Amino acid sequence: MVPDYTTLIEPVKNRRTFEEVSDKLKELVFNGTLKPGQQLPSEQALARLFAVGRQSVREALRILELSGFIKTRAGTRGGAVIEGTMLSKMTGPFLDTFKFHKVSLEDCINARKAIEMSVLEFVIRSADDTDIENLRENLVRAKSRLASGNSAYEENIDFHRVLARASKNYTFCIVMESIMAVFADFKSRALDVRTEQSKKIIEGHEALVNAIAAKKKKLAIELLEKDLANAKMIVLVNSE
Amino acid sequence: MVPDYTTLIEPVKNRRTFEEVSDKLKELVFNGTLKPGQQLPSEQALARLFAVGRQSVREALRILELSGFIKTRAGTRGGAVIEGTMLSKMTGPFLDTFKFHKVSLEDCINARKAIEMSVLEFVIRSADDTDIENLRENLVRAKSRLASGNSAYEENIDFHRVLARASKNYTFCIVMESIMAVFADFKSRALDVRTEQSKKIIEGHEALVNAIAAKKKKLAIELLEKDLANAKMIVLVNSE
DNA sequence: TCACATTTGTCCGTATGTATC
DNA sequence: AGATACATACGGACAAATGTG
């Protein structure tokens, strides 16, 4: 009968100053005291308020910035502003972990397929008119991009983000956002997608949206499988 | 035919010094120049090497620390050391995003079920003897924990991390690590799991491992479904 | 167009706590 | 116990950016 000291007893004061500061500010965001769009006091003012040095405040702000809580701007009327979403900053750590452990693109593609097939099930159950509209809006953006002679790679990645949102389960949004970041990064480094490929992908997306709108589950599953197979081929061919 | 200036033209020098430093160090880790366990020069030395101030080095180190690239220790022979894994630091940003967007536990549980069922398919296909052994080792740890009068909540969470590893696809490891962090955090804040509940979970895990070892796919799926339903009940009851 | 004020970004000097030898 | 080497932390100073009058 050994009691569990490790969870009962915590370090009294091993925490560093900047950690106290960043945790305190995080808490103010979580409990709604600090709302998105709101301006934080200047670094000097924060240092006075917390009764710490400006260096500690700066290191705390770096943490909050990297975590996506705030963005900072220099100059008059500059400073730290609370962000409205943390989704985009989620992807950095995920991508770092991915690269650090040298995960293969193929593994990522395979896992992504499994997860997105689940997402689709949720989408067919829960998608409403607004979601269908958002998906169609993505198709319009992608097509206009294509019409101006560029590939629609970014828009076609975004399609899957919008799809995840239509599942009405934000957990999927976070996960898919992270995974799609891998493909976005891959494109920025290596990929030069042909416009014909983009066109084919968009056509597939269009058919998929129609199937979802019509609640044709079997067809939708089939179409998503085809789309992911297409995407897999494009990525793997270009990663040689 | 509007050319895509946003991807063609990048800001010439908007980057801050500490970003340059942290990116440079990240790159050295990614390309293998800096290996896990290796010691970085002191802050003073790094400042000299990069020809920047100590403050910039410190802010860069904060970023690398938060991202999980390094850990720092004070004292002689202290300093920054390259980490061997980034998995554990992956969870912080995920958890922050989760809280920031106030995702419901139920959504998280539902998404987790969908994803873990996919993981199980991969596990049944790919798990080898070592994986089965790792899973059994987890059961031993959980039981000994129970025998000493504590709940085995942490070990039972860890079971699912080990399961993800058995899929042989590191993408699943990253995703599951992130999701399980939500439950680990939940426990640390609210949950007081009864030992009887832990015992029941462990028995379920044991049956699941046996089914996986015997490659009985249908049975394994059934058992995992039951386990997740159990976990869902325990969490939701305690979150009232 | 041109200062001016404010705030971040950066560097330096110094002091303290901490861990190792 | 004392010396050493490092992170941690504070304060002062100046440069760079940026909005305002």
pLDDT of residue A229: 97
| B4 contact A CB<8A | yes
pLDDT of residue B135: 98
- In terms of domains, do A68 and A145 share one? no
Q: Please give the full DSSP string across chain A, using - where no structure is assigned.
A: ----HHHH---SS---HHHHHHHHHHHHHHTTSS-TTPBPPPHHHHHHHHTS-HHHHHHHHHHHHHHTSEEEE-STT-EEEE-S--HHHHHHHHHHHHHHTT--HHHHHHHHHHHHHHHHHHHHHH--HHHHHHHHHHHHHHHHHHHTT---HHHHHHHHHHHHHTTT-HHHHHHHHHHHHHHHHHHHHT----HHHHHHHHHHHHHHHHHHHTT-HHHHHHHHHHHHHHHHHHHHHHT-
List of chain A residues whose C-beta atoms are within 8 Å of the C-beta of residue B118? 111, 114-115, 117-118
Q: Which positions on chain C have an atom < 7 Å from some protein CB?
A: 5-13, 17-21
What's the whole-number mean pLDDT along residues A91-106?
93
pLDDT of residue B239: 76
Q: Name residue, tokens 């554990």.
A: B88
For nucleotide C5, give the residue with the nearest CA to its C1'.
A76
Nearest by CB to residue A169, choosing from B1, B111, B149, is B111
What's the whole-number mean pLDDT along residues A132-141?
98
- What does the block give as tokens for B154? 């942490």
pLDDT band at A6 (very low <50, low <70, confident <90, very high): low
- In terms of domains, do A93 and A51 share one? no
| B141 contact A CB<8A | no
Nearest by CB to residue B93, choosing from A93, A99, A101, is A93
pLDDT > 70: percent of chain A: 92
Coil/strand/helix, residue B73:
strand
Residue A14 reports pLDDT greater than 70: no
What's the whole-number mean pLDDT along residues A137-151?
93
Instruction: Please return the burial class of A102, using the count of CB atoms within 10 Å of its CB with bins 0-12, 13-18 and 19+.
Output: exposed
| B6 contact A CB<8A | no
User: Is residue A89 a contact partner of residue A96, using CB atoms and an 8 Å limit?
Assistant: no
Coil/strand/helix, residue B79:
strand
pLDDT of residue A99: 94
Residue A121 reports pLDDT greater than 90: yes
- In terms of domains, do A97 and A215 share one? yes
pLDDT of residue A194: 79
Helix (H) / strand (E) containing B81: strand B79-82
- In terms of domains, do B151 and B227 share one? yes
For nucleotide D19, give the residue with the nearest CA to its C1'.
A76
- In terms of domains, do A67 and A100 share one? no
Distance from CA of B139 to the nearest CA of A (A): 18
Task: Tally the domains of chain A.
Answer: 2
Q: Is the CB of A230 under 7 A from strand C?
A: no
pLDDT of residue B235: 87
Residue A219 reports pLDDT greater than 70: yes
Q: Is the CB of A17 under 7 A from strand D?
A: yes
Closest CA to A119 of A129, A131, A130, A107: A131
User: For position A17, which CATH number holds?
Assistant: 1.10.10.10
Distance from CA of A213 to the nearest CA of B (A): 22
- In terms of domains, do A132 and A223 share one? yes
| B87 contact A CB<8A | yes
Q: Do A111 and B175 count as a contact with CB atoms less than 8 A apart?
A: yes
User: For position B196, which CATH number holds?
Assistant: 1.20.120.530
pLDDT of residue B1: 52
pLDDT of residue B193: 73
Residue A159 reports pLDDT greater than 90: yes
User: Is residue A186 a contact partner of residue A173, using CB atoms and an 8 Å limit?
Assistant: no
pLDDT of residue B240: 65
Whose C1' is closest to the CA of B15: which nucleotide?
A: C9
pLDDT of residue B188: 72
Residue A206 reports pLDDT greater than 70: yes
Q: What pLDDT, in 10s, does the model give residues B100-140?
A: 999 999 999 999 999 999 999 999 999 999 999 999 999 99
Q: Is the CB of A78 under 7 A from strand D?
A: yes
pLDDT > 90: percent of chain A: 80
Residue-number span of the structural domain to which B213 is assigned: 87-239
In one letter, which amino acid is A224?
L
Q: What is the mean pLDDT of chain A?
A: 91
- In terms of domains, do A142 and A49 share one? no
Interface probe for B, chosen from A109, A143, A150, A174 (most Cβ of B below 10 Å), is A174
In one letter, which amino acid is B215?
K
Spell out, as residue ranges, where chain B has pLDDT lower than 70: 1-14, 190-191, 240
- In terms of domains, do B201 and B147 share one? yes
Distance B26 CA to C10 C1' (A): 22
pLDDT of residue A29: 95
- In terms of domains, do B93 and B121 share one? yes
Nearest by CB to residue B94, choosing from A4, A90, A108, is A90
Q: Classify residue A114 as left (phi > 0), alpha (psi -120 to 50) or beta.
A: alpha
Q: What pLDDT, in 10s, does the model give residues B189-205?
A: 766 777 888 999 999 99
- What does the block give as tokens for A24? 């305190």
Task: Give CA A224 to chain center in angstroms.
Answer: 21
Distance from CA of A29 to the nearest CA of B (A): 8
- In terms of domains, do B77 and B95 share one? no
Q: Is the CB of A102 under 7 A from strand C?
A: no
- In terms of domains, do B106 and B29 share one? no
**CB atoms inside a 10 Å sphere around CB B201:** 24
List of chain B residues whose C-beta atoms are within 8 Å of the C-beta of residue A58? 55, 59
Coil/strand/helix, residue B39:
strand
Distance B78 CA to C17 C1' (A): 13
Read off the pTM.
Answer: 0.92
Alpha-helical (H) ranges within chain B are 5-8, 17-30, 43-50, 54-67, 87-100, 105-126, 129-147, 153-165, 170-189, 195-213, 217-238
- What does the block give as tokens for B44? 């003073």
List of chain A residues whose C-beta atoms are within 8 Å of the C-beta of residue B30? 99-100
User: How many CA atoms within 13 Å lie on the side-chain side of B86?
Assistant: 29
Domain ends where: B82, B102, B126?
A: B82
Domain ends where: A26, A59, A82?
A: A82
Residue A8 reports pLDDT greater than 80: no
Q: Do A101 and B170 count as a contact with CB atoms less than 8 A apart?
A: yes
Residue B79 bridge partners (DSSP):
B73
Domain ends where: B82, B99, B114?
A: B82
- In terms of domains, do B231 and B158 share one? yes
**CB atoms inside a 10 Å sphere around CB B63:** 24
